[in-house]
Structure 1
């Protein structure tokens, strides 16, 4: 699965709206803030995530790219 900051930002905004928040209201942070937030999450995951494979000829730990 490819990580997409733009889609993640929209998903966060939608989830917040579904719970009664107004993440894009006139005095709220706005989409640019949520996009920056999502980019930080995606960057953290892609820089630090590892997948352990415990058996077989591919056993080991692999970086997520």
Structure 2
């Protein structure tokens, strides 16, 4: 499954709205905050995630791309 910044942003905004946050309007900043968090989380995962294969001919640690 590929990581998608837009999808994660939309899910964060939906969760914030469900908890009473105002995400629309001239002074609402929670949607922008959700977008910033989504981008940072996905960037961190794609830049630093690794998988470890414990056995077999492919044993080792590999960066996830």
After TM superposition, is the score higher than 0.5?
A: yes
Matches within 5 A, 1:4-43: 4-22=4-22, 24-26=23-25, 27-43=27-43
Cα distance between partner residues in 1 of 2:34 and 2:15: 12
RMSD between superposed Cα atoms in Å:
1.7
Q: Which runs of 5 or more structure 2 residues have no equivalent in the other structure?
A: none
TM-score (norm 1): 0.79
Q: How many residues align?
A: 64
Partner of 2:59: 59
1:3 is aligned to 3
Q: Distance in 1 between matches of 2:36 and 2:18?
A: 21
Gaps in structure 1 of 5+ consecutive residues: none
Point out 4+ residue stretches in structure 1 off by more than 3 angstroms.
30-33
